[in-house]
Amino acid sequence: MSLNRTAAGAGQKPRAWDRLSISTKQIVWAWTFLAVPMLFFTVVRFYPTAEAFYLSLTDWDFLRPASFIGLENYKMLLSDPVFWQVFRNTFAYLLIGTPISIVLSFVIAYYLDRIEFGHGFIRALYFLPFLTTAAAMAWVWRWFYQPPPIGVINSLLGAFGIPAQPFLRSVDQGLPAIMVTAIWAGLGFQIIIFLAGLRAIPATYHEAARVDGLGEFAILRKITLPLLKPTTVFLVVFSSIGFLRIFDQVYNMTSNDPGGPLNTTKPLVLMIYQTAFSSYQMGYAAAQTVVLFLILFAISMGQLWILRSR
Amino acid sequence: MLHASTRGLVSSVKMFSAGALALGLLAAQPASAVEIEYWQYVFESRVHAMDELIKEFEAENPDITVKQVTFPYADYQTRVVAAKAAGNGPDVVQLFYGWLDNFVAGGLVQPLSKEKFPAADIEKDFFPIVSAMKRGEDYYGLPTAVRSMALFYNKNLFKDAGLDPNKPPQTLDEMVKAAKATTKQDSAGNFQTVGMALDIARQDHNWWREILIRQFGGEPYSADGTKVTYNSDGGRKALEFYTGLQSGEKVGQEGFMDEGQAAFRAGLAAMVIDGTFRLASFNTISGFEWGVTELPAAPDGTRSNYASYFANAIGGTAEGEKLEAAEKFLAFISSEKAMKVWLEKGGELPARKSIALSEENLAHPVYGPFIRGLTYAHTTLFVDEAAQRQITIDMVNSVLLQGQPVTDALSAAAAKEQQLLDKRKAN
């Protein structure tokens, strides 16, 4: 009775929703749920990104209304010697930091994988720095690098009769000194990922290779490394982006003279920060941000392409 | 009967409570009640001092209430700008004198009324550095407190080196001599104690720019602040003197103990040049006795000092009765009475000569040297304090770390700073 009435009612007044097939309904539901993050990303990510592109073409200084000045900011950027210095620094962090951190973390993971005794403890020790706030860590390292009488490293050097080194106060040693800190900070994470990658390689491959009489080095070169390629590519991309965006370590270790003596340790992100929030040249800072975006975009695309061609 | 009287009682209670409510409202909010907002950044002693002043002001002006709003220093300027854009800015706002050009350009502050704050009175009563708040014929704000620099010295280290701890150096020569006597190095040549804590990133850049250059016969900028004039003999000698403290006399080292003030606090620097704002920190030193003296004079007796201040100004959007209340409040916090509170609560020097130059203050062992310095102090008309400071830091670093000749480093810095001035003044 009541069933009939419902059916009759539906027949008289069919709702649009009920006429959709199940698969169409699923698609509608999927899009409804997806709309939330999409809306979020549009408002919080894409809109400000587009706005930054526009700002880079203006002379906005926070106080006066922005006026459109075309590519003036980009021209200024290209003729700014500090920008080129910062550009070189940023690529020095990337090109030296990434390979060293990848090789180092692989070597550690490779040997850590083979020991049973204290494995968890040592892994935790390596991972600990990754959990620590970058700013706090940077200040500890800043203290390590101090000149005598308080600097830990210089005290050690002094004990061996080696003259004190200026480290952060040097135009040559500043950047490597900061790089060591950044590599050390990211090492734990990379080791964990490498360990997971190593454990994912079936032990039978190695056993078969040993039965066939392959040496350890040949196993590493012919089996382990090729099978680790997805892990390695992921870590290279991840670490490259990290080094291109380096800021916390540099800012906190050189806050007396942000970016080190004569800008020798200053990365692009720090230059953007200073241009925007200490000189209030928002338009110029936006132009620098666009350049950083393009660099990150190109490098990420290149690395994704390598991953795909596998 | 009973019924009727109860009804009558109820209605009269109702009437009474309505009347009381109306009365209460009137009392809480008099016909001309105005609430104004005062903004400053978070600096504990200043916030407390301001709370005190607001209490006194409200007692004197029952029809005005003042709401104090504070922000962390790092966000402060951004907040003021954002509030202006949103149309609800402060009525009275604190700003660093060096921000004035930006604040005026952005319409964040308005000129003071010439009737209520006559320029002649301001110039008579305040230290001359107040002129940094003047643009054209208009004053844009008044300071409550001012800061100046002096030479701090460690009496214990002076005694250990055989110097009289009650006779601090009065000239640059005496300062270098005292620094040499107090410097200690280990066998490898590393400093154990420095005679002078050198810190170009903190106060030394001001010392070089406004004091040393003048003492060596130069002028840092043209009178209107639009031209860099330190690329001169005086500028060169001043830079040679400053960098010579590390490279020639070897009485100090940039970066020793990370910061100059830290080296002094730790008792590892015999002398450091710093400002009044450091007193709160140095007052907590318990390991040794310290003293403070005027910045050393040049051989010909020339003295100079660098003074700076945070001023209070009237917000660009204040108008009508809020403007009137804001003017009253600004006059109150710039009064002699307020400055006394400020000195007691915040340890900051009064901006009015009559209060600052009292005999008691001039003879004060700690405030005295700073206040005497105020009488001959200069103020840099910064267009971008951070960028100009950076230029000076880079100049000193290129001499000390890269071995560039002083003349080259100086002319490079002058050119860079001139470019910056031109760009900012053109806006």
Least confident of B98-102, B246-250, B253-257, B372-376: B98-102
Are B258 and A142 inside 8 Å of each other by CB? yes
**Is B108 within 8 Å of chain A by CB?**
yes
Same domain (yes/no): A8, A136: no
Q: Which of A149, A262, A280 is the closest to B394 by Cβ?
A: A262
What pLDDT does residue A309 have?
57
* Closest-CA distance of chain A to residue B223, Å: 24
Identify all chain A residues contacting B105, using CB atoms and an 8 Å cutoff: 63-64
Same domain (yes/no): A138, A219: yes
pLDDT over 90 at B1, yes or no = no
Are B106 and A256 inside 8 Å of each other by CB? no
Are A147 and B190 inside 8 Å of each other by CB? yes
Residue A16: pLDDT band (50, 70, 90) is confident
Are A63 and B106 inside 8 Å of each other by CB? yes
pLDDT over 60 at B18, yes or no = no
Domains B34-148+308-378 and B149-305+383-426 share a fold: yes
| HSE toward the beta carbon, residue A265, CA cutoff 13 A | 32
Are B387 and A280 inside 8 Å of each other by CB? no
**Is B192 within 8 Å of chain A by CB?**
yes
Site from B397, B399, B419, B422 to mutate, A interface, most A CB atoms within 10 angstroms: B397
* Closest-CA distance of chain B to residue A269, Å: 17
**Is B258 within 8 Å of chain A by CB?**
yes
pLDDT over 80 at B427, yes or no = no
Are B188 and A163 inside 8 Å of each other by CB? yes
Q: What tokens appear for B239 in the block?
A: 């830079």
Domain assignments of chain B as residue spans, ordered by start: 34-148+308-378, 149-305+383-426
CATH number at residue A186: 1.10.3720.10
Read off the pLDDT of each residue in B156-166 and give the average, rounded to a whole number: 96
Same domain (yes/no): A21, A158: no
Are A279 and B384 inside 8 Å of each other by CB? yes
Residue B148: pLDDT band (50, 70, 90) is very high
Are A63 and B255 inside 8 Å of each other by CB? no
Same domain (yes/no): A138, A7: no
For B278-289, write each residue's pLDDT tens digit.
988 899 999 999
Q: How many CB pairs under 8 A join A and B?
A: 79
Identify all chain B residues contacting A263, using CB atoms and an 8 Å cutoff: 394
What pLDDT does residue B178 have?
97
Least confident of A99-108, A298-307, B345-354, B408-417: A298-307
Same domain (yes/no): A17, A102: no
What pLDDT does residue A13 have?
61
- Give the integer Cα–Cα distance in Å for B203 and B216: 18
Read off the pLDDT of each residue in B17-33 and give the average, rounded to a whole number: 50
Are A147 and B191 inside 8 Å of each other by CB? yes
What pLDDT does residue B24 have?
46
Classified by CATH at the fold level, domain B34-148+308-378 comes out as D-Maltodextrin-Binding Protein; domain 2 (3.40.190)
**Is B101 within 8 Å of chain A by CB?**
no
Read off the pLDDT of each residue in B122-137 and give the average, rounded to a whole number: 92
Identify all chain A residues contacting B268, using CB atoms and an 8 Å cutoff: 149
**Would you say B34 and B65 are in contact if contact means Cβ atoms under 8 Å apart?**
yes
Q: Which position has the higher pLDDT, B366 or B86?
A: B366
Identify all chain B residues contacting A177, using CB atoms and an 8 Å cutoff: none
* Closest-CA distance of chain B to residue A270, Å: 14
What pLDDT does residue A12 have?
57
Q: Which of B77, B188, B387 is the closest to A158 by Cβ?
A: B188
Identify all chain B residues contacting A280, using CB atoms and an 8 Å cutoff: 77, 102
For a pLDDT cut of 70, what percent of chain B falls above it?
Answer: 92
Q: Give Cβ neighbours of residue B137 (< 8 Å, ≥ 6 apart).
A: B119
Classified by CATH at the fold level, domain B149-305+383-426 comes out as D-Maltodextrin-Binding Protein; domain 2 (3.40.190)
Same domain (yes/no): A36, A88: no
What pLDDT does residue B397 have?
96
Same domain (yes/no): A12, A106: no
What pLDDT does residue A271 have?
96
Question: 3-class secondary structure for chain B?
Answer: CHHHHHHHHHHHHHHHHHHHHHHHHHHHCCCCCEEEEEEEECCHHHHHHHHHHHHHHHHHCCCEEEEEEEECHHHHHHHHHHHHHHCCCCCEEEEEHHHHHHHHHCCCEECCCCCCCCHHHHHHHECHHHHHHEECCEECCEEEEEECEEEEEEHHHHHHCCCCCCCCCCEHHHHHHHHHHHCEECCCCCEEEEEEECCHHHHHHHHHHHHHHHHCCCCCECCCCCCECCCCHHHHHHHHHHHHHHHCCCCCCCCCCCCHHHHHHCCCEEEEEEEHHHHHHHCCCCCCCEEEECCCECCCCCCCEECEEEEEEEECCCCHHHHHHHHHHHHHHCCHHHHHHHHHHHCCEECEHHHHCCHHHHHCCCHHHHHHHHCCEECCCCCCHHHHHHHHHHHHHHHHCCCCCHHHHHHHHHHHHHHHHHHHHHC
Identify all chain A residues contacting B198, using CB atoms and an 8 Å cutoff: none
Same domain (yes/no): A41, A95: no
Residue B305: pLDDT band (50, 70, 90) is very high
Is A67 a domain residue?
no
For A99-114, write each residue's pLDDT tens digit.
999 999 999 999 999 8
Interface residues of A toward B, Cβ cutoff 8 Å, are 61-64, 142-143, 146-150, 154, 158, 163-164, 166, 168-171, 256-257, 261-263, 274, 277-280
Read off the pLDDT of each residue in B62-86 and give the average, rounded to a whole number: 89
* Closest-CA distance of chain A to residue B191, Å: 7
What pLDDT does residue A19 have?
86
Mean pLDDT in chain B? 90
**Is B102 within 8 Å of chain A by CB?**
yes
Are A150 and B254 inside 8 Å of each other by CB? no
pLDDT over 60 at B158, yes or no = yes
Same domain (yes/no): A7, A139: no
pLDDT over 80 at B214, yes or no = yes
Q: Residue A15 belongs to what domain range?
A: 2-55
Are A158 and B201 inside 8 Å of each other by CB? no
Least confident of B25-39, B56-70, B113-127, B316-330: B25-39
Is A61 a domain residue?
no
Give the position of tokens 């620099």.
Answer: B149
Nearest to B250 by CA among B182, B204, B315, B310: B182
Same domain (yes/no): A45, A192: no
Identify all chain A residues contacting B390, using CB atoms and an 8 Å cutoff: 257
Is A64 a domain residue?
no
Q: How many domains does chain A have?
A: 2
Same domain (yes/no): A86, A47: no
Same domain (yes/no): A26, A118: no
Beta-bridge partner residues of B377: B305
Is A63 a domain residue?
no
Site from B99, B101, B187, B190 to mutate, A interface, most A CB atoms within 10 angstroms: B190
* Closest-CA distance of chain B to residue A252, Å: 12
